[in-house]
C-alpha cells in the first residue's frame, strides 16, 4: 500500500484537503483512488533548478526535502536556463522545477504537458539590459540595428521585447543573438554583441567582474516573475506532495530572510559564485514566500504570453489559466458538488 506524506508524525490536514480537491477536479479515476492517490508519497521527486533558484538551492544544501520525503528518492538536476529545464520536465525527466516568466509560455504554446503550481513575488531589479562601459548606447532607442545576446524563450526574452516596445522600435529593428548565458557572456566580453539581456546571478557576476553599464532593468518593463511548474502526472497523483514542496520553499525563504549571511554561504558553496556575487543578487531579491498563483499573477502572465503571440514569436495564442493548478478553487468546487 502507498504510504501517505507525514509531517511531524501526523497526516497533514492540508494534504487531505488537497487530495479531496484533486478528486473533485477529476484527477483521480474514481472514489477508491481519490485521497489515497493524491496524497501518496511519490517514488521519486526529480527537481530542476538554476543557480538563481535561492529557495531550492537552500533546500538542497540543507537536505530538507530528503527529510520531508523520506520514502522518496529526491534528485537534483541543474540547468543553465528555464527553457532547457522545461524541456526536461515535459518529456518526463523531471517532476518539479523553477523558471522565469517566458519559458512556460513557450512550453505551453508548443503543447507541453505541465502545470503552474506556485510562484514567488516579482523581482524586476534582478534582470537587466547590459552594455559595455564604453558603449555609445545611452537609451533603449539606441538598440536599433544592434546585436543583442539573450537566451531564447527565457525571462530576458520578454524583458527585451518590452524594452524594444518602450523605445518605440519593432522587434525587426534589432538583431537578437540567441545564446545561453555562458556563451552570451563570452560574446559580450569579446565585443561580438552590442548588448546582453540577462538575469541574476549572471547579471551580478558580470556587474562585479567587468563593470558593464546598465541600460535598463526590469523596473517599469517586466515583473520578472518566477514560477514553479510540475509535470501534470505528478500533480494528478501527488497533490499533497506539491503542497508540501510549496510549504518547504516558503520555509526556506524565511530562513534566507532571517539568516542572510548563512544562506549566502550555502549558495556560494553550492554554486561556486563568490560571496560578493551572491550577496549582490540576493540584495535585489525581495522576500519570496511561495504560493499558488493569484488571479492577478495569472493576468500578468497572460500579458507576457500575449506579447509573444502578437510578435509572432510563439505559434498560437494560449490561455495561461488553462494550465494553472488552483487548490483553493478545487476545494470550493468540491464543496459545491
The pLDDT, as a whole number, for residue 327 is 81
Give the residue-averaged pLDDT of 89-108.
Answer: 96
Q: What is the tally of helices (H) and strands (E) in the chain? A: 15, 12
| Grid cell for residue 61 | 544544501
Kindly give the pairing relationship between strand 213-217 and strand 127-131. antiparallel
Please tell me whether residue 80 adopts helix, strand or coil conformation. coil
Nearest to 82 by CA among 160, 216, 196, 199: 199
Show Cβ contacts of residue 135 under 8 Å, excluding neighbours closer than 6 positions. 194, 195, 213
pLDDT tens per residue across span 152-195: 999 999 999 999 999 999 999 999 999 999 999 999 999 999 99
| Contact status, residue 72 vs residue 64, Cβ threshold 8 Å | no
User: What pTM, to 2 d.p., does this model score?
Assistant: 0.84
Give the residue-averaged pLDDT of 223-241.
Answer: 95
Nearest to 117 by CA among 43, 10, 27: 27
pLDDT tens per residue across span 131-145: 999 999 999 999 999
Rounded CA gap, 38 and 244, in Å? Answer: 12
Phi, psi dihedral angles at 226 (to 5 degrees): -115, 130
Q: Is 49 exposed, middle or buried (0-12, 13-18, 19+ CB in 10 A)?
A: buried
| Dihedral sign for Cα atoms in the order 275, 277, 280, 285 | negative
**Summary mean pLDDT of the chain:** 87
Residue 118 DSSP symbol: E
Give the residue-averaged pLDDT of 309-330.
Answer: 89
pLDDT at 34 over 70: no
pLDDT tens per residue across span 259-299: 999 999 999 999 999 999 999 999 999 999 999 999 999 99
Percent of the chain with pLDDT strictly greater than 70: 85
Domains of the chain (ranges, CATH numbers): 6-122+225-336 (3.40.190.10), 124-217 (3.40.190.10)
Rounded CA gap, 34 and 16, in Å? Answer: 10
pLDDT at 196 over 60: yes
The pLDDT, as a whole number, for residue 335 is 59
pLDDT tens per residue across span 119-131: 999 999 999 999 9
Q: What single string gives the DSSP state of each residue in 204-235?
A: HHHHHHH--EEEEESTTT----EEEEEEHHHH
The pLDDT, as a whole number, for residue 83 is 93
Phi, psi dihedral angles at 6 (to 5 degrees): -120, 145
Amino acid at each position: 500500500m502507498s504510504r501517505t506524506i507525514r509531517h511531524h508524525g501526523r497526516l497533514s490536514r492540508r494534504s487531505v484537503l488537497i487530495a479531496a480537491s484533486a478528486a473533485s477536479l477529476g484527477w483521480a479515476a474514481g472514489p477508491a483512488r481519490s485521497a489515497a492517490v493524491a496524497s501518496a508519497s511519490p517514488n521519486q521527486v526529480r527537481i530542476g533548478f538554476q543557480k538563481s533558484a535561492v529557495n531550492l538551492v537552500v533546500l538542497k544544501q540543507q537536505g530538507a526535502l530528503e527529510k520531508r520525503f523520506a520514502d522518496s528518492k529526491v534528485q537534483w538536476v541543474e540547468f543553465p536556463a528555464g527553457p532547457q529545464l522545461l524541456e526536461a520536465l515535459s518529456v518526463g525527466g523531471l517532476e518539479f522545477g523553477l523558471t522565469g516568466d517566458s519559458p512556460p509560455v513557450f512550453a505551453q504554446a508548443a503543447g507541453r504537458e505541465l502545470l503552474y503550481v506556485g510562484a514567488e513575488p516579482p523581482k524586476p531589479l534582478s534582470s537587466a539590459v547590459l552594455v559595455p562601459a564604453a558603449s555609445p548606447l545611452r537609451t533603449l532607442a539606441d538598440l536599433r540595428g544592434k546585436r543583442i545576446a539573450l537566451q531564447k524563450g527565457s525571462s530576458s526574452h520578454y524583458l527585451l521585447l518590452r524594452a524594444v516596445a518602450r523605445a518605440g522600435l519593432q522587434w525587426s529593428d534589432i538583431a537578437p543573438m540567441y545564446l545561453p548565458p555562458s556563451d552570451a557572456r563570452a560574446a559580450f566580453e569579446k565585443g561580438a554583441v552590442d548588448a546582453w539581456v540577462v538575469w541574476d546571478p549572471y547579471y551580478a557576476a558580470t556587474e562585479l567582474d567587468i563593470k558593464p553599464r546598465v541600460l535598463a532593468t526590469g523596473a517599469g518593463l517586466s515583473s520578472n516573475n518566477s514560477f514553479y511548474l510540475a509535470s501534470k502526472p505528478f500533480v494528478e497523483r501527488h497533490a499533497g506532495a506539491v503542497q508540501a514542496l510549496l510549504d518547504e520553499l516558503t520555509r526556506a525563504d524565511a530562513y534566507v530572510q532571517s539568516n542572510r549571511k548563512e544562506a549566502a554561504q550555502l549558495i556560494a558553496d553550492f554554486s561556486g559564485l563568490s560571496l560578493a556575487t551572491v550577496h549582490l543578487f540576493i540584495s535585489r531579491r525581495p522576500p519570496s514566500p511561495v504560493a499558488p498563483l493569484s488571479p492577478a499573477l495569472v493576468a500578468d502572465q497572460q500579458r507576457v504570453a500575449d506579447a509573444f503571440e502578437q510578435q509572432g514569436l510563439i505559434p498560437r495564442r494560449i490561455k495561461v489559466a488553462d494550465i494553472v493548478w488552483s487548490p483553493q478553487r478545487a476545494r470550493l468546487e468540491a464543496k459545491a458538488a
